C-alpha cells in the first residue's frame, strides 16, 4: 500500500477511497498526514531547494514594517469551515480520528530547537515508556485551555484536544508536543535526564500581543504564523530565507546543541541537590526560563490567562536544572544575546545573572514598559548598523561611545519636545515626530549596551573593560530614572508600535577619514609636530557626560558641527558632528568646553591651563557666524558652528564664569590685602527676589578683600590715597552652581559688624552692606580666631602691617569731631565709651619717622563698640594743631576735607541712631574742614601723642600770664605793645629746629602764632608786677592775624603748622611773663641760648 501511495494511481485512489483506509488504520494517521503534505502537488506549496545568493534578495521594505507583522493578517484570516456537524463530539487522536484530506491541513516548522524529553536507546537505564509517562504528567494543559479549543481550526482543535487527554496520550515520534512549563505530579519525582527549557505557549487572540523578539518561537499547531514557512498568510518576500537568517539559524542550532550536551552531562542526584538549594533559598525559576514563561503577559499588568498558565514555584527536575544552570553560569547568559531567544525587556547583562523574585509579582517597572514598546526597533538597528560595518568588528569603546551619543541625543530631544507647547496642528505633528525619534534614539543606546556589547565581548572571549562597564551602568541608571519620570508625567512611548518609516534608524554617523597627526590636533595637541606630543585620552564619561559625578560637573550639552580648516583651503573644510559639553572639575574654578565626536576622532578641550591644551585666550567668538574659532598649529583652524540660541547661552555661561572669577582678582588701582577660603558663607539680601547668592549657608567659599588706592602725581612725587575696600565672595569649586557677590565699603559710610559663633563654635563675622544697589547682611565663618581678627582689622583700618609700628598708644577720655574749634562736637560721639588712641606709622630706624607725606601714618581711636581710623596722609603745611588755653589735657587737630576716614561700629552694641550720626560725621569730614579733639588723661600722654603725630618733641608746655609784642611805629621812634592775656605756650623741637607755639584766647589781633628760635637770639630775664618772664630781643616772628576776606578762614588762623611754619615778617621784642619764676626757669631751659639777667647760674645756655 505504501508503494501505491507513492505512485500516481495510489494518490488518485487515495483521493477517492482514502477515507475508508485511513479509518481502518488509525495508527498510521500521523505519518500519512506528513506524507500527504510532503508528496502533494507542487502547485500548493512551492519549495525551493537551492537558496538564492544574498545579492539576489529583495531589500527589506522597512518603510512598511509593522511592530507585529502577523497580527493583522492572522486576525483577518478566517479558519476553514469544519466538515463535521456541530453535534458530532470532538474525538481524541488516540481513538479513531476522522479521515482528512489535504484541504485545510496546515503544517508548520518552528524556529526553535526540538524539545528533548529524555534519552533513549540501548544505553538508557530508564525505559522509554517511563519517559512518556513523565512527559504526559508534565504537559497537561490548564483547564482554561479547553475553553478555547472550539475557537481553533479543525486540525489544531484535534491536536489541542488530544493533548488534554493525559491517560490516553501516545507520543508520536514525528509530531512535536505542546511546549511550556509543566507541573509536578502528585507522585514523587523520579530521576530523569535533564531537559532543556521549552518555549512559552503562544498567546490567544484575545490577549494583547507580546512585543516581538529577535527570534520568535511558534510551536506547531498554534494559530500564529511561522516566521519563514507559512504558506497561507506570508507574503512572497518571506517564502525564502535570507543569507543572514540562515546563519542565525545555524548559530542557534549550534548553541542549543552545546547547551543540551552540557545539561545531559549532569547527573540526576546533583540535579536534585541543586534544585533543593534553589528552592530552600527562595529563588524562583531562572531568568531565561522565567522571562519566557508566558508570551501573553503584557508589560504593565498580566492577564488572568497568563497568570493561570504561570507555573508554580516548584518545578520539575528538568526545569529546575535549567534555572540553576542559568543562574550559576553568567557567561552563557551574556555572550550571545542577539542570537538566543531574548530576555524580557527589563533584563540587563547584570540582571541575567541574578535570581528574579516571585514570578507571580506584577511587573510595574517603567523601564520594562519603555523597552517593551521600543524593542521591535532592535532588528532595524542591527540591519542599519551591519550595513555600515560588521557589528562583531566594533571595539567596545566605540560601542560605549555610540551608546552615550544616542542616549544624550534622545534625552535632549525628549526634553525639548516636552518643553515645547505646539499651537498649530502642524507644530503639534512636528513635536510628536521629534518625540518619536527621541524614543528611538534612547532605544539605540539600550540596544548597543544590552545586546551588541555582550555579543561582541562574547565573540572576543574577553571580559568587559571597567570603563565600558561603568558607561553601561551609568546609561542603565539614567535610563531607568528617565523612564520613571516619563511614566510619572505620562510621556512613555505609546502602546502602538512606533512607525519605523518615520524614524532615523542609523547607528553610525559619517565622518571624514583623517590621518593620525590630524587626530592628534583634534585631541588638543599644541606641539609643532603633533606626532611628537602625546595627548592623554579623556575618559568616555568626561567627553560625553551623562550628568554630574564625583569627578565632574556638567552644565549643558549641545550638538554642534565642527569644521577643520587648513590654511589656503578654507572653502573645503572637514565636517565632524560633535557634542559640546560644558563641564567643570570639582577642584577647578574655570569652565571647560569639551568637543567629542561619535567615532572618537575628536576630543578637544578648551580650558584655562596652557599646559593642557588650548585656552580661552585662543578662542575667538564670531558673533556674526555663531561660531567659536581656535587656531591650531601647522596652519589649521577649528571652527565650532552652533545654533544662534546655543551660541548665546554658551557665550553667556563663559562670560558669567569669567566675570565671577575675575572678581577675585585685583582690578586697576586695587591691591589685594586679604584672601582665604571661608568655612561657610551665608548671604541675606533685603530683596527677597534677589538670586545673586543662595540664601542658605554655602561651604568653602573663596573670599578676597581689595584696597582701593588712588594714585596722583604731585610736585613731591606720586601720592597714594586710601579710597575704601572691595569685598568679593565666590562659591568654591566644590559647589556646582557658581555664585558671586561684590560689595564696596567706601569711607563715606560706617562699617557695621558683629562678632558671632557658628554652628560648630567657629568664629564668624557679620557684615552689613549698603552700597546703593542693595542692602543686607553677610555672615562669614572663618577657620580660626586670628584669621577673623585679621580680616576685621584690615576692613576697619586698624591693622598693623609687617612694615608698620605703633609709635604711641595712650588712653583717652574723650574724642569729638566738630566743624570748627569753637563749635560743639557732632551728635553721637559724646556717649561713646572711649578707651585709647594709637599712632601707627612706618617702622624705620629713626626714633620718629616722617610724618609729612607719610602714607602709612594714621590715628586709630578705639572705643568699646567700634573704632575710628583717621589716615594722616598730608602734604607739607596741611597738618595743623591747637592747644586750648583752659584745658591742658586736650589737643585739637585741623584736617582738610578727606575721603579716607573710616568709622566702624558693632551693630548690636550701639544705639540705633548712632550709625546715622556717624554717617553724618563722615559726610562732614568729606565735604569741609573738620576738627578732631582728643582729651587725654595726662599731659605726658598728650605730649607723647603729639610727638608721634607731628614729629616734634614737646620741651615746654605751660600757661603764660602775658605775652607782649613791641611794635615800632613807621615814622617816629615810638613803640606800641600788643599784650595778650592768658596764653598757652609750648616749646617744641625737631632735630635742630626749636619753635615757640602760642595760642591766645580773646585776643583781638589773632588766636595763634608760632616762630622759630635760633642760637643767635638774645634772651633776657625780666620781672614786672610780680611776674617773672623772659624777653626775646629783636625776635623774628609773624604777627597773629585775623581773617581778611573770604579767602582766609578763621580756623586756619587759629591753628599752627609745625612742619611748615609761617615766614617771619616782623623783628621786634617779645616778652613772655609767667606767674612764677619756676615756670620762667623751666621755659628758659628750653631756649637755644642762655638767658641774661638775674639768677643766671640756674639757666643753662644752649
**In this predicted model, what pLDDT tens digit does every residue of 105-116 receive, in sequence order?**
555 555 555 666
More confident residue, 176 or 524: 524
CA dist., res. 314 & res. 358, Å (int): 11
Q: Average pLDDT of 727-737?
A: 94
Strand 680-685 relative to strand 670-677: parallel, antiparallel, unpaired? unpaired
Least confident range from 571-575, 732-736, 1095-1099: namely: 1095-1099
What dihedral do alpha carbons 259, 261, 265, 267 form, nearest 10°?
70
Q: What residues are paired with 987 via a beta bridge?
A: 956, 996
Q: Can you give the residue ranges of every domain in the chain?
A: 2-56, 63-95+104-294+301-338, 366-500, 516-656, 663-793, 797-949, 952-1098
- Determine the pLDDT at residue 244: 66
- Residues with Cβ within 8 Å of residue 624, at least 6 apart in sequence: none
**Of the candidate ranges 150-154, 458-462, 921-925, 947-951, the one whose mean pLDDT is the lowest:** 150-154
Distance CA 348, CA 338 (A): 13
On the CB side of 286, how many CA atoms lie within 13 Å of its CA? 26
Whether domain 516-656 has CATH 2.70.98.20: no
Say what the pLDDT of residue 984 is. Answer: 95
Q: How confident is the model at residue 230 (pLDDT cuts 50, 70, 90)?
A: very low
Q: What is the pLDDT of residues 667-694, one digit of tens each?
A: 999 999 999 999 999 999 988 888 889 9
Instruction: Give backbone dihedrals phi and psi of 473, rounded to 5 degrees, phi first.
Output: -65, -40
Strand partners, 710: 721
| Whole-number pLDDT of residue 927 | 92
- How far is the C-alpha of 792 from the C-alpha of 786, rounded, in Å? 10
- What letter would DSSP give residue 305? H
Residue 10's pLDDT band, with cuts at 50, 70 and 90, is low
Across 145-149, 226-230, 299-303, 731-735, the highest mean pLDDT is recorded for: 731-735
Q: Which of 584, 593, 371 is nearest to 476 (CA)?
A: 371
Q: Which residue has the higher pLDDT, 131 or 877?
A: 877
pLDDT in tens, 736-757: 999 999 999 999 999 999 999 9
Distance CA 484, CA 466 (A): 27
Model confidence at 865: pLDDT above 80:
yes
Q: Identify the DSSP state of 828.
A: T
DSSP-derived secondary structure letter, 451: I
d(CA 298, CA 436): 21
Q: How confident is the model at residue 760 (pLDDT cuts 50, 70, 90)?
A: confident
The predicted model gives 276-293 an average pLDDT of: 35
Which of 5, 173, 21, 4 shows the shortest CA–CA distance to 96?
A: 21
Q: What share of the chain is helix, strand, coil (3-state, %, to 5)?
A: 30, 25, 45
Q: What is the DSSP string of 913-943?
A: THHHHHHHHHHHHHHS-EEEEEEESSHHHHH
pLDDT-based confidence at residue 335 (cuts at 50, 70, 90) = very low
* Model confidence band, residue 338 (pLDDT cutoffs 50, 70, 90): very low
Q: How much is the pLDDT for 81? A: 38
Secondary structure (DSSP) of 506-572: --S-------HHHHHHHTT--SSSGGGS--PPPPHHHHS--S--SS-EEEEEEEEEEEEEETT-TTS
CATH 3.30.300 for domain 952-1098, yes or no, is no
CA proximity to 708, closest of 793, 773, 795, 780: 795
Q: What value does the mean pLDDT take over residues 358-381?
A: 75
Q: At what angle do helices 466-489 and 396-419 cross, to 10 degrees?
A: 20
Give CA 956 to chain center in angstroms. 73
Q: What is the dihedral of CA 825, 828, 831, 836, to 10 degrees?
A: -80
Domain 797-949 falls under CATH 2.30.29: yes
Q: What is the mean pLDDT of residues 1061-1074?
A: 88
How distant, in Å, are the alpha carbons of 244, 398, 462, 518, 701 from that of 395?
Answer: 22, 5, 12, 21, 44
Q: What is the pLDDT of residue 1020?
A: 92
Mean pLDDT lowest among 273-282, 459-468, 910-919, 1038-1047: 273-282
Higher pLDDT among residues 982 and 192, named by residue = 982
Average pLDDT estimate for 57-64? 46
Instruction: Give the percent of the chain with pLDDT over 90.
Output: 46
- Beta strands, E only, 731-803: 740-745, 751-757, 763-770, 775-781
Of 512-526, 858-872, 874-888, 911-925, the one with minimum mean pLDDT is 512-526
Lowest mean per-residue pLDDT among 167-181, 198-212, 882-896: 198-212
pLDDT the model gives residue 815: 95
Q: What is the pLDDT of residue 897?
A: 94
**Angle at CA 1036, nearest 5°, toward 1031 and 1038?**
110
User: CA-CA distance, 443 to 679, in Å (whole number)?
Assistant: 46
Q: What is the mean pLDDT of the chain?
A: 75
Name the architecture of domain 663-793. Roll (2.30)
pLDDT in tens, 568-610: 787 889 999 999 999 999 999 899 999 999 999 999 999 988 8
Average pLDDT, stretch 869-886? 93
As a dihedral over the C-alpha atoms of residue 126, residue 129, residue 130, residue 132, rounded to 10 degrees, the angle is 120
Tell me the per-residue pLDDT of 260-273, one tens digit each, with 9 for 90 and over.
Answer: 555 455 433 433 43
- The Cα–Cα gap between 65 and 500 comes to 7
pLDDT of res. 115: 66
H/E element, 948: helix 939-950
| Distances 710 to 668, 669, 852, 855, 923 between C-alpha atoms, Å | 10, 6, 18, 12, 19
Average pLDDT over residues 842-865: 90
Q: What is the pLDDT of residues 395-452, one digit of tens each?
A: 999 999 999 999 999 999 999 999 988 888 888 889 999 999 999 999 999 999 999 9
Supply the pTM of this predicted model. 0.65
**pLDDT above 70 (res 970):** no
* pLDDT at residue 439 in the model: 94
Amino acid at each position: 500500500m505504501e508503494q501505491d501511495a507513492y505512485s500516481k494511481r495510489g494518490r488518485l485512489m487515495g483521493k477517492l477511497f482514502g477515507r475508508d483506509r485511513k479509518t481502518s488504520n488509525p495508527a498510521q494517521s500521523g505519518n500519512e498526514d506528513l506524507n500527504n503534505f510532503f508528496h502533494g502537488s507542487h502547485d500548493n506549496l512551492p519549495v525551493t531547494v537551492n537558496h538564492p545568493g544574498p545579492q539576489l534578495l529583495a531589500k527589506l521594505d522597512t518603510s512598511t514594517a509593522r511592530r507585529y507583522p502577523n497580527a493583522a493578517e492572522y486576525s483577518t484570516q478566517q479558519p476553514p469551515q469544519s466538515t463535521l456537524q456541530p453535534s458530532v463530539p470532538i474525538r481524541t487522536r488516540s481513538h479513531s480520528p476522522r479521515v482528512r484530506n489535504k484541504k485545510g491541513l496546515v503544517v508548520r516548522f518552528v524556529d526553535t530547537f526540538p524539545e528533548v524529553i529524555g534519552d533513549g536507546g540501548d544505553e538508557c537505564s530508564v525505559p522509554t515508556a517511563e519517559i512518556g509517562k513523565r512527559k504526559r504528567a508534565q504537559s497537561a494543559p490548564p483547564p482554561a485551555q479547553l475553553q478555547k479549543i472550539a475557537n481553533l481550526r479543525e486540525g489544531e482543535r484535534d491536536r489541542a484536544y488530544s493533548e488534554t487527554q493525559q491517560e490516553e496520550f501516545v507520543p508520536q515520534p514525528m509530531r512535536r508536543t505542546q511546549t511550556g512549563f509543566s507541573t509536578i505530579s502528585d507522585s514523587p519525582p523520579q530521576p530523569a535526564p535533564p531537559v532543556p527549557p521549552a518555549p512559552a505557549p503562544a498567546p490567544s487572540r484575545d490577549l494583547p500581543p507580546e512585543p516581538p523578539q529577535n527570534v520568535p518561537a511558534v510551536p506547531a499547531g498554534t494559530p500564529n504564523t511561522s516566521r519563514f514557512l507559512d504558506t497561507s498568510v506570508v507574503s512572497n518576500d518571506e517564502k525564502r530565507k535570507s543569507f543572514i537568517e540562515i546563519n542565525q539559524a545555524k548559530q542557534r542550532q549550534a548553541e542549543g546543541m552545546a547547551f543540551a550536551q552540557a545539561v545531559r552531562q549532569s547527573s540526576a542526584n546533583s540535579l536534585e541537590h541543586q534544585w533543593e538549594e534553589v528552592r530552600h533559598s527562595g529563588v524562583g525559576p531562572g531568568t531565561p526560563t522565567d522571562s519566557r514563561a508566558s508570551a501573553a503577559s503584557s508589560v504593565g499588568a498580566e492577564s488572568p490567562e497568563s497568570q493561570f498558565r504561570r507555573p508554580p514555584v516548584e518545578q520539575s527536575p528538568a526545569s529546575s536544572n535549567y534555572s540553576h544552570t542559568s543562574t550559576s553560569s553568567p557567561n552563557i547568559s551574556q555572550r550571545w544575546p542577539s542570537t538566543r531567544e531574548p530576555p524580557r525587556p527589563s533584563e540587563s547583562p547584570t540582571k541575567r545573572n541574578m535570581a528574579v523574585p516571585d514570578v507571580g509579582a506584577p511587573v510595574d517597572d517603567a523601564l520594562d514598559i519603555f523597552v517593551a514598546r521600543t524593542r521591535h526597533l532592535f532588528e532595524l538597528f542591527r540591519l542599519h548598523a551591519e550595513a555600515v560595518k560588521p557589528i562583531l568588528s566594533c571595539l567596545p569603546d566605540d560601542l560605549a561611545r555610540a551608546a552615550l551619543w544616542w542616549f544624550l541625543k534622545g534625552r535632549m530631544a525628549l526634553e525639548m519636545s516636552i518643553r515645547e507647547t505646539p499651537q498649530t496642528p502642524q507644530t503639534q505633528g512636528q513635536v510628536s515626530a521629534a518625540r518619536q525619534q527621541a524614543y528611538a534614539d534612547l532605544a539605540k543606546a539600550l540596544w548597543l549596551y544590552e545586546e551588541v556589547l555582550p555579543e561582541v565581548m562574547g565573540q572576543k572571549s574577553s571580559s568587559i573593560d571597567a570603563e565600558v562597564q561603568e558607561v553601561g551602568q551609568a546609561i542603565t541608571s539614567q535610563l531607568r530614572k528617565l523612564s520613571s519620570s516619563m511614566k510619572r508625567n505620562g510621556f512613555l512611548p505609546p502602546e502602538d508600535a512606533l512607525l519605523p518609516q518615520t524614524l532615523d534608524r542609523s547607528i553610525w554617523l559619517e565622518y571624514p577619514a583623517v590621518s593620525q597627526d590630524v587626530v592628534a590636533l583634534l585631541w588638543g595637541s599644541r606641539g609643532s609636530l603633533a606626532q611628537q606630543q602625546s595627548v592623554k585620552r579623556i575618559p568616555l564619561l568626561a567627553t560625553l557626560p551623562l550628568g554630574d559625578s564625583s569627578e565632574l560637573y556638567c552644565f549643558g550639552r549641545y550638538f554642534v558641527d565642527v569644521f577643520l580648516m587648513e590654511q589656503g583651503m578654507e572653502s573645503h573644510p572637514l565636517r565632524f558632528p560633535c557634542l559640546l559639553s560644558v563641564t567643570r572639575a570639582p577642584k577647578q574654578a574655570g569652565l571647560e568646553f569639551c568637543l567629542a565626536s561619535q567615532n572618537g576622532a575628536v576630543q578637544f578641550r578648551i580650558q584655562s591651563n596652557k599646559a593642557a591644551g588650548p585656552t580661552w585666550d585662543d578662542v575667538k567668538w564670531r558673533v556674526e557666524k555663531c561660531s567659536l574659532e581656535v587656531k591650531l598649529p601647522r596652519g589649521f583652524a577649528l571652527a565650532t558652528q552652533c545654533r544662534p540660541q546655543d551660541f548665546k547661552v554658551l557665550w553667556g555661561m563663559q562670560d558669567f564664569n569669567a566675570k565671577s572669577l575675575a572678581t577675585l582678582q585685583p582690578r586697576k588701582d586695587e591691591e589685594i590685602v586679604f584672601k582665604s577660603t571661608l568655612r561657610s558663607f551665608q548671604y541675606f539680601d533685603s530683596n527677597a527676589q534677589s538670586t545673586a547668592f543662595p540664601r542658605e549657608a554655602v561651604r568653602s567659599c573663596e573670599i578676597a578683600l581689595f584696597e582701593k588706592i588712588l594714585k596722583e602725581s604731585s610736585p613731591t612725587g606720586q601720592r597714594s590715597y586710601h579710597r575704601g575696600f572691595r569685598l568679593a565672595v565666590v562659591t568654591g569649586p566644590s559647589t556646582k552652581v557658581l555664585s558671586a557677590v561684590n560689595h564696596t565699603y567706601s569711607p563715606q559710610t560706617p562699617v557695621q559688624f558683629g562678632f558671632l559663633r557658628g554652628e560648630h563654635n567657629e568664629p564668624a563675622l557679620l557684615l552689613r552692606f549698603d552700597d546703593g544697589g542693595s542692602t543686607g547682611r553677610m555672615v562669614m565663618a572663618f577657620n580660626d580666631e586670628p584669621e577673623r581678627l585679621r580680616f576685621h582689622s584690615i576692613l576697619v583700618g586698624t591693622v598693623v602691617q609687617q612694615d608698620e609700628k605703633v609709635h604711641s598708644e595712650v588712653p583717652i577720655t574723650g574724642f569729638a569731631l566738630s566743624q570748627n574749634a569753637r563749635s560743639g562736637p557732632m551728635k553721637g560721639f559724646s556717649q561713646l565709651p572711649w578707651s585709647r588712641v594709637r599712632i601707627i606709622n612706618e617702622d624705620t630706624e629713626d626714633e620718629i619717622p616722617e610724618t609729612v607725606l607719610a602714607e602709612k601714618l594714621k590715628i586709630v581711636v578705639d572705643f568699646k563698640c567700634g573704632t575710628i581710623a583717621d589716615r594722616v596722609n598730608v602734604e607739607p603745611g596741611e597738618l595743623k594743631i591747637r592747644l586750648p588755653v583752659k584745658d591742658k589735657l586736650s589737643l585739637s587737630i585741623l584736617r582738610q576735607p578727606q575721603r579716607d576716614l573710616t568709622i566702624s561700629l558693632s551693630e548690636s552694641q550701639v544705639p540705633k541712631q548712632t550709625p546715622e550720626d556717624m554717617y553724618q560725621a563722615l559726610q562732614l569730614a568729606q565735604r569741609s574742614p573738620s576738627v578732631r579733639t582728643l582729651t587725654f588723661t595726662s599731659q605726658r600722654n598728650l605730649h607723647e601723642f603729639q610727638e608721634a603725630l607731628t614729629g616734634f618733641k614737646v620741651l615746654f608746655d605751660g600757661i603764660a600770664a602775658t605775652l607782649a609784642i613791641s611794635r615800632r611805629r613807621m615814622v617816629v621812634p615810638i613803640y606800641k605793645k600788643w599784650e595778650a592775656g592768658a596764653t598757652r605756650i609750648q616749646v617744641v623741637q625737631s632735630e635742630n629746629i626749636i619753635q615757640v607755639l602760642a595760642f591766645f584766647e580773646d585776643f583781638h589781633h589773632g588766636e595763634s602764632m608760632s616762630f622759630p628760635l635760633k642760637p643767635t637770639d638774645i634772651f633776657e630775664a625780666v620781672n614786672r608786677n610780680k611776674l617773672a618772664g623772659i624777653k626775646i630781643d629783636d625776635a623774628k616772628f609773624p604777627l597773629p592775624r585775623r581773617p581778611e576776606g573770604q579767602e582766609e578762614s578763621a580756623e586756619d588762623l587759629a591753628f599752627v603748622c609745625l612742619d611748615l611754619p609761617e615766614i617771619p615778617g616782623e623783628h621786634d621784642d617779645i616778652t613772655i611773663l609767667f606767674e612764677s619764676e619756676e615756670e620762667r626757669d623751666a621755659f628758659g631751659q628750653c631756649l637755644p641760648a642762655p638767658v641774661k639777667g638775674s639768677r643766671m647760674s640756674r639757666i643753662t645756655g644752649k
